[in-house]
Structure formats: C-alpha cells, structure tokens
C-alpha cells in the first residue's frame, strides 16, 4: 500500500520538499534586509530568536510596523496580517484613537506602584462577561495566568497532582511542560528538557477528545488530584475544538474527585462574548485569560469562584503571596478595556463568520486543485494541516507531514498574506472585505502553484 499523502516521506511530501527549497530561495532573494537582521540577531540571540514559533527556515521576515489589518517588513513588503500577534490583536494593530489613548495614558504615568481605578474597571468587565469568574487577579502573560491558576487549585485543595490534555500548550510553566510539542509512545507524555522529574511526576496526561480515557485517569488519581487543566479549543496543538461531551466529562469527573476544573481561555476568549465556556455551557472553577484582554500589550489574568480565589486575599489567615511589578499595569489596562468594550457579541459573530468562510474556502479550493490540505479550527481561529479531514486530536495532527503547510506559508507571503509558519491564522475585526479578497486570491494562487509542482512531480493528493 502506498503511503498516505500526509505521511512524512510520501511521494507528495518529497515533491513538496523540492518546492519548499525553491520557495526558501525566492523568500531569501526578496528579503535582504531581513537576512542582514537575522545574521546580526544570531550574534546576540540563540538561533537569532526569542519566540520559537516565529522561527522558520531560512529565517523569519522581520516586521517593522503594523496598523489595522496590515504589517510591513524590513524590506518594505506589506502583508495582510492573519497572525495578529498570535490571536491577541483581535482588532488588528492599534491605530487612530486607540494609539492616542495609549499615548495619553503613558503621559499620565506608565506604572504607579499602587492600585489604579483602571484595574478595577477591567476586572469588573471580565467578571461581567465570563459567568464563572467572580474574582480576578492580573499577571503579565498567559504563562503566568496558568501557573497561578494551578497554584490556586493546589492551595485550595491541598493536593499536588494535575491533569492536562495531550498536546495542550499552556505557556511555559513547568507543571504544563509535559506533552506539549512532542508525541509520547502509547499516550505517555514527553517531558520537556529542563523540567525536574519531581515536577513532571505530578503532571498526568490524558488524550484530547477521548472522554472515557480522561474520565478513567481522573478517577484513578482520585483524591491526589488538584486540577484538570484544558483548553476548550486547543490552540498550539492545531486549532482543535473539544467535543462538548469531552468537556462535560472532565467537569463531571473532576467534581467527583474534588479537583478543580481549569479552563485555559488565553486564546479562546475571542471566540464568544463569555469565552468558550459560555458557548459550550460548561462552567469551570478557574479560568486562565490573556491575549485580547490586554489589547495588544503584555497581559494575563486568572479568576474564578470567589471562595476559591480568596486564597489570595491578603486578609486571609494564611494568604498566598502574589506580587508582580507590572501586574495591572495602567497602560495595559487602558488597552485591554478598549479591546473588550469594542469586542461586542455582534463583532465576534462577524469575525467568526469570516473564519468559517475562510475555512470552507481553503477546503473547497484544496479539493478543486487536488492538494491534500485542510483547515481546522472554529470561528475566527484556523489552522492549515496536510490531509483531507481536519485532525481531532494532537496525536492525529502531530503525525501528519508539515511540508505542504510550510510551502503554503512561504507562498502566501509571496502573495502578500502573513500567516504563522505552522499554518495558524486568525481573523481580526480590522480585516476589510478588500483584505479578504486579497487573502482568498492568495490562497487560490498558492494552491494552484502547489498543484502544479505536484503534477510536475507526477504525484497527486
């Protein structure tokens, strides 16, 4: 039997490798300024890089500016932005009144070393929007949001162990650095290098979208378990929506054993006015937040039931200590308030509809040109994979070849569309109908070029 077109090393994959070499050469020829920056970067940053997902061969395009739906690179090339700083810029890049507000706030003080009215307002906005969140604490990244949500659960329950879903990316906290990017054998979670064994031993990995297996593991852990941590839609694992029964099963099982259910909504808050917990109708005990709640500035927050969050109340008998020089930073709070207030249910519905349309467009054109790629995701969050059907789990996504996805990334850049190197895209409210036409024409032209390369190599998807 011949290898499926999605398998690494298949004839399709080999033809795509040749195309990728050509595209990398064309990419480099068009971007001498980025090349020079990358050489210089290599002298001061490991691999010339500071965010691993941004790296791709031969080197990343260095961006110098962004406004609305557009970004410009160091060689003066302009792109329609479908990265939006990895879903955080839900309204695109600040411009006009939004930048005036930021400048005004900076003039009134960038960090004050005391609580400000702004953090109260943003916390109130989050409590009002997200049904399960009664109390909030701000931090500076999604990583910290998850780190502190887990700490809250451990302190509240007096237990150590946590469960996470296979492939789930929750930021850099050590307890979550198990089964992130690498696939373990038979469901075993691969522990990232540098994570102490003692920490990893208290993290247990369950398959994504397998309710029975997850439930069984939660019951097995029983009263050792402090928290079950899950993204309602896995982002880094490949834009993979949870099946409703899976989240319902996690809710039931965690309650049974007295563990807290933590939803990591760092990426998914943009998908529904009340977060994806509202769309699914599943109420977690704690929620990790980030990205859009900072309006493009560094941010994170964790929140949940008042009784649980009270472990942080400085007036408690043994309060947990939570500092953070930049927590609740006023400039971030101003940007976050604007971002959330402008993100009405109607605007969320509109960007979700555009995402659905684009997913449908990619699948339809891929079929038409017989290129084996497909788009996963939900609403405004998408990801391109090789294959004819979107994956249901990280295990499925991770075993597919990435070569065609890399080709499409470089081809879309040639056609003026900026997507993430691993095929992720998202829609901002700044995207205009004209931008969408540019995007669709770029996808059509890119798929045509891939199809021609596969035909030349006498292989087809």
Ligand X SMILES: Cc1ncc(COP(=O)(O)O)c(C=O)c1O
Catalytic positions are 169, 264, 291
269 Cβ neighbours under 8 A, 6+ residues apart: 130, 275, 276, 289, 291, 292, 293
Contact with ligand X (CB under 6 A) among 92, 167, 290, 379: 290
Taking the complex as a whole, the smallest distance from the CB of residue 141 to ligand X amounts, in Å, to 3
Q: Are 340 and 125 in contact (CB under 8 A)?
A: yes
Q: Which is nearer to ligand X, 401 or 419 (CB)?
A: 419
Taking the complex as a whole, the smallest distance from the CB of residue 382 to ligand X amounts, in Å, to 14
The answer to whether 138 contacts ligand X (rule: CB under 6 A) is no
The answer to whether 264 contacts ligand X (rule: CB under 6 A) is yes
The answer to whether 86 contacts ligand X (rule: CB under 6 A) is yes
The answer to whether 180 contacts ligand X (rule: CB under 6 A) is no
Site for ligand X in 156-175 (CB under 6 A): 169-171
Stretch that binds ligand X, among 41-49, 106-114, 142-150, 336-344 (CB under 6 A): 142-150
Between CA 241 and CA 66 the distance in angstroms is 30
The answer to whether 394 contacts ligand X (rule: CB under 6 A) is no
- Segment (H or E) for 58: none
Q: Which is nearer to ligand X, 141 or 401 (CB)?
A: 141
321 Cβ neighbours under 8 A, 6+ residues apart: none
Contact with ligand X (CB under 6 A) among 230, 266, 301, 382: 266
11 Cβ neighbours under 8 A, 6+ residues apart: 2, 3, 457, 459
Tokens of 77: 């090339």
Q: Which is nearer to ligand X, 74 or 267 (CB)?
A: 267
Residues in the chain: 461
Q: Is 194 left (phi over 0), alpha (psi -120 to 50) or beta?
A: left
Contacts with ligand X by CB under 6 A: the residue count is 16
Q: Which is nearer to ligand X, 2 or 52 (CB)?
A: 52
Site for ligand X in 214-233 (CB under 6 A): 231
CB burial of residue 187 (10 Å; 0-12, 13-18, 19+) = middle
How many other CB atoms are there within 10 angstroms of residue 459's CB atom?
Answer: 17
Taking the complex as a whole, the smallest distance from the CB of residue 164 to ligand X amounts, in Å, to 11
Q: Which is nearer to ligand X, 61 or 141 (CB)?
A: 141
Between CA 259 and CA 392 the distance in angstroms is 26
Taking the complex as a whole, the smallest distance from the CB of residue 290 to ligand X amounts, in Å, to 5
Measured from each CB, the residue nearest to ligand X is 142
Contact with ligand X (CB under 6 A) among 242, 267, 309, 430: 267
Contact with ligand X (CB under 6 A) among 66, 235, 295, 330: 235
Q: Are 264 and 288 in contact (CB under 8 A)?
A: yes
Q: How close are the terminal C-alpha atoms of the chain, in Å?
A: 15
CB burial of residue 426 (10 Å; 0-12, 13-18, 19+) = buried
Q: Which is nearer to ligand X, 214 or 451 (CB)?
A: 214
Interface with ligand X by CB under 6 A: which residues?
A: 86, 141-143, 146, 169-171, 231, 235-236, 264, 266-267, 290, 300
């Amino acid at each position: 039997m011949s290898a499926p077109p999605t398998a690494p090393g298949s004839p399709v994959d080999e033809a795509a490798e040749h195309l990728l070499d050509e595209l990398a050469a064309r990419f480099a020829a068009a971007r001498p300024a980025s090349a020079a920056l990358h050489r210089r970067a290599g002298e001061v940053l490991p691999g010339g890089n500071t965010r691993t997902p941004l790296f791709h061969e031969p080197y990343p395009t260095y961006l110098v500016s962004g406004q609305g739906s557009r970004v410009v690179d160091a060689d003066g090339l302009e792109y329609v932005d479908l990265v939006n700083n990895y879903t955080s810029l839900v309204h695109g890049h600040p411009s006009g009144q939004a930048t005036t507000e930021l400048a005004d706030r900076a003039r009134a003080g960038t960090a004050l070393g005391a609580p400000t009215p702004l953090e109260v307002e943003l916390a109130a906005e989050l409590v009002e929007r997200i049904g399960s969140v009664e109390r909030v604490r701000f931090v500076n990244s999604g990583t910290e949001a998850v780190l502190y949500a887990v700490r809250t659960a451990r302190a509240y329950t007096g237990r150590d162990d946590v469960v996470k879903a296979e492939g789930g990316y929750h930021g850099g906290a050590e307890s979550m650095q198990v089964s992130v990017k690498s696939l373990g054998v038979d469901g075993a979670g691969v522990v990232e290098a540098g994570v102490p064994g003692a920490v990893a031993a208290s993290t247990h990995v369950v398959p994504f979208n397998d309710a029975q297996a997850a439930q069984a593991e939660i019951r097995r852990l029983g009263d050792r378990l402090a928290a079950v941590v899950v993204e309602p839609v896995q982002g880094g694992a490949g834009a993979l929506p949870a099946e409703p029964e899976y989240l319902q099963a996690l809710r039931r099982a965690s309650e049974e054993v007295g563990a807290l259910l933590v939803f990591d909504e760092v990426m998914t808050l943009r998908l529904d006015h009340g977060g994806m917990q509202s769309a699914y109708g599943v109420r977690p005990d704690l929620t990790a937040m980030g990205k859009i709640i900072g309006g493009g500035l560094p941010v994170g927050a964790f929140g949940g039931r008042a009784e649980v969050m009270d472990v942080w109340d400085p007036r408690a008998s043994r309060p947990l200590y939570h500092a953070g020089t930049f927590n609740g930073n006023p400039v971030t709070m101003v940007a976050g308030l604007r971002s959330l207030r402008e993100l009405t249910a109607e605007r969320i519905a509109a960007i979700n509809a555009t995402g659905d349309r684009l997913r449908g467009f990619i699948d339809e054109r891929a079929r038409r040109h017989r290129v084996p790629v497909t788009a996963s995701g939900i609403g405004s969050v998408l990801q391109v994979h090789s294959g004819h059907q979107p994956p249901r789990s990280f295990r499925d996504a991770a075993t597919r070849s990435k070569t065609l996805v890399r080709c499409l990334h470089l081809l879309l850049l040639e056609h003026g569309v900026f997507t993430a190197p691993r095929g992720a895209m998202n829609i901002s409210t700044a995207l205009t109908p004209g931008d969408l036409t540019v995007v669709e024409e770029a996808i059509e032209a890119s798929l045509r070029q891939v199809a021609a390369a596969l035909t030349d190599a006498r292989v087809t998807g």
